[in-house]
Amino acid sequence: MAFVEELRSYSIQALYVPADVSQRAAVEAMADRWESEMGPRSILVSNA
């Protein structure tokens, strides 16, 4: 979460969404949340 806050301090849009990437439904929910809050995504970073 600190990384997201650091990005935001530079006026970079970022969203922290914890998800179990071994669960397809969780990944789909993560993508849906991103699109509803941030719009279309150009990059997704998974730090598993």
Q: For the whole model, what pTM was predicted?
A: 0.64
For residues 24, 28, 34, 39, the Cα torsion angle rounded to the nearest 10 degrees is 140
CA-CA distance, 20 to 11, in Å (whole number)? 28
Taking the domains of the chain in order of start, what are their residue ranges? 2-38
Walk along the chain (48 residues) and give the pLDDT tens digit of each residue: 898 999 999 999 888 888 898 999 998 998 899 899 989 877 777 776
How many CB atoms are located within 10 Å of the residue 30 CB? 19
